[in-house]
Amino acid sequence: METAEIVRRFLTYFENNGHTVVPSASLVAEDPTLLLVNAGMVPFKPYFTGQRTAPYDRAVSVQKCVRTIDIDEVGKTSRHASFFQMLGNFSFGDYFKERAIPFAWDLMTRPRDEGGFGLPVDRLWVTVYLDDDEAETIWRERAGVPAERIQRMGMEENYWSMGVPGPCGPCSEIFWDRGPEFGAEGGPLADEDRYVELWNLVFMQYERGPGETKTDYEILGELPKKNIDTGLGLERLAAILQGVDNIYETDTLGRVLHRAAELTGIRYGDAERSDVSLRVVADHMRTATMLVSDGVRPGNEKRGYVLRRILRRSVRNLRLLAGATEDQTYLHELTATTIDALGDIYPELRDNADEIHNVIDTEEKNFAETLRSGTALFTRAAEKTKTAGSTVFSGADAFQLHDTFGFPIDLTLEMASEEGLSVDEGTFQELMREQREAAKRDAKAKKFGGADIGVYTRLLEGAGATDFLGYTDHESESRVLGLIVDGEPVAAARAGDKVEVVLDRTPFYAESGGQLADKGTLTSEGRGVVDVDDVQKPVSGLFVHRGTVRAGELALDDTVHAGIDSDRRSSVSRSHSATHLIHSALRNALGPSTGQAGSENQPGRLRFDFTTNEPVGTSRLAEVEEEVNTVLSGDIQVHDFVTSLDEALSMGALAMFGEKYGDRVRVVEMSDYSRELCGGTHVGATGQLGVVKLLGESSIGSGVRRVEAAVGLDAFRRLSTESMLVSQLSEQLKAPREELPQRIDALVTRVRDAEKEVERLRAAQVLQAAGELAGNARRCGAALLVTHQAPEGTTGDDLRRLALDVRGRLGEDQPVVVAVTAVPKDRPVVVAAVNEAGQRLGLKAGDLVGEAARTLGGGGGGKPDVAQGGGTDASAVDSALRAVERRVSETG
pLDDT tens digits along 21-49? 999 999 987 765 678 998 999 889 888 87
C-beta of residue 632 within 8 angstroms of C-beta of residue 692? yes
508 touches 466 (CB < 8 A): no
pLDDT at residue 128, as a whole number: 96
Residue 143: CATH number of its domain: 3.30.930.10
Claim to verify: residue 707 and residue 593 sit in the same structural domain: yes
Question: Do residue 719 and residue 822 come from a single domain?
Answer: no
Q: Can you give the CATH number for the domain in which 822 is found?
A: 3.10.310.40
The per-residue pLDDT for 145 is 95
Whether residue 598 is contained in a domain is answered as yes
Alpha carbon distance 112, 118 (integer Å):
5
Q: 730 in a domain, yes or no? A: no
- Structural domain harbouring 554: 447-564
Percentage of residues in the chain having pLDDT higher than 70:
94
Q: Are 508 and 543 in contact (CB under 8 A)?
A: yes
Q: What is the pLDDT of residue 661?
A: 67
Which domain CATH number covers 597?
3.30.980.10
Average pLDDT, rounded, for the chain:
87
70 lies in the same domain as 105: yes
Judge if 151 and 40 occupy the same domain. Answer: yes
State whether 244 and 256 are in the same domain: no
Residue 817 near residue 848 (C-beta atoms within 8 A): yes
d(CA 106, CA 640): 69
Summarize the confidence of residues 151-179 as an average pLDDT: 90
Residue pLDDT, tens place only, 632-651: 999 999 999 999 888 888 88
Checking DSSP bridges between strand 638-644 and strand 498-503, what pairing results, if any?
unpaired
- Last-in-domain residue among 540, 564, 588: 564
Residue 589: C-alpha distances to residues 43, 583, 756 (Å): 50, 10, 41
The answer to whether residue 753 is domain-embedded is no
CATH number reported for the structural domain that contains residue 526 in this entry:
2.40.30.130
583 annotated binding-site participant: no
Residue 69 lies in a domain: yes
Q: Which of 191, 213, 248 is at the close of a domain?
A: 248
What pLDDT, in 10s, does the model give residues 792-808? 767 778 888 889 989 98
Instruction: Note the pLDDT tens digit of each residue in 857-867.
Output: 877 667 889 98
What's the confidence (pLDDT) of residue 657? 44
Instruction: Report if residue 440 sits inside a domain.
Output: no
Residues 25 and 119 in one domain: yes
Looking from the CA of 258 toward its CB, the CA atoms found within 13 Å total 12
Sheet strands (E) in 657-691:
664-670, 674-677
Q: What per-residue confidence (pLDDT) applies to 203? A: 96
Q: Is 678 annotated as a binding residue?
A: yes
Residue 602 lies in a domain: yes
Instruction: Summarize the confidence of residues 125-142 as an average pLDDT.
Output: 95
Q: Which residue type sits at 131?
A: D
Question: In angstroms, rounded to a whole number, what is the distance separating the alpha carbons of residues 782 and 815?
Answer: 7
Alpha-carbon distance 535 to 205, whole Å?
Answer: 38
Order of strands, sheet of 596-602, starting from the edge strand that comes earlier in the sequence: 596-602, 605-611, 704-711, 692-701
Q: What percent of the chain has pLDDT over 90?
A: 47
Let me know whether 241 and 254 are in one domain: no
Confidence of residue 302 (pLDDT cuts 50, 70, 90): confident
C-beta separation of 668 from 682 below 8 A: yes
Specify the length of the chain in residues: 892
- pLDDT, one tens digit per residue, over 462-521 is 888 899 999 999 999 999 999 999 888 999 999 999 999 999 999 999 998 889 999 999
Q: What is the pLDDT of residue 449?
A: 42
Task: Give the pLDDT mean for 219-244.
Answer: 93
Beta carbons of 355 and 310 less than 8 angstroms apart:
no
Is 580 annotated to bind ligand?
yes
Residue 547 domain-assigned? Answer: yes
Residue 435 belongs to a domain: no
pLDDT tens per residue, range 187-226:
999 988 899 999 999 999 998 888 877 778 888 888 888 9
Q: How far apart are CA 364 and CA 292, in angstroms?
A: 14
Output the CA–CA distances (angstroms, integers) from residue 178 to 21, 85, 514, in the order listed: 31, 21, 51
Q: Which helix (H) or strand (E) holds 161?
A: strand 159-161
Same domain flag for 639 and 522: no
**Backbone phi, then psi, for 526, in 5-degree steps?**
80, 0
The verdict on 409 and 479 lying in the same domain is: no
575 lies in the same domain as 550:
no
Please, which pLDDT band fits residue 448 given cuts at 50, 70 and 90? Answer: very low
**Is residue 243 located within the same domain as residue 267?**
no
Task: Please give the pLDDT value at position 701.
Answer: 59
Kind and range of the H or E run holding 439 = helix 425-446
Residue 814: φ, ψ to 5°: -140, 160
Taking alpha carbons only, the member of 262, 356, 363 closest to residue 311 is 363
Res 533: pLDDT: 95
Q: Report how far residue 399's alpha carbon sits from residue 623's, in angstroms, rounded to the nearest whole number.
A: 37
Of 298-302, 513-517, 538-542, 621-625, minimum mean pLDDT range: 298-302
User: Given a cut of 50, is residue 446 above it in pLDDT?
Assistant: no
**Burial per residue of 376-414, b for 16 or more beta-carbon CB atoms within 10 angstroms, e otherwise:** eebeebbeebeeeeeeebbbebbbbbbeebbbbbebbbb
User: Structurally, how many domains does the chain consist of?
Assistant: 5
Residue ending a domain, among 219, 248, 277, is 248
SS3 855: helix
Phi first, then psi: give them for residue 14, nearest 5 degrees: -75, -30
Q: 697 forms bridges with which residues in the sheet?
A: 707
| pLDDT above 70 for 832 | yes
Q: Do residues 769 and 762 make contact, with C-beta atoms less than 8 angstroms apart? A: no
* Contact present, 20 and 251 (Cβ < 8 Å): no
Q: Are residues 309 and 165 in the same domain?
A: no
What is the band of 763 on the pLDDT scale with cuts at 50, 70, 90?
Answer: low
Per-residue pLDDT tens digits for 386-421: 888 888 998 888 888 877 666 767 778 878 887 888
168 among annotated binding-site residues: no
pLDDT score at 659: 56
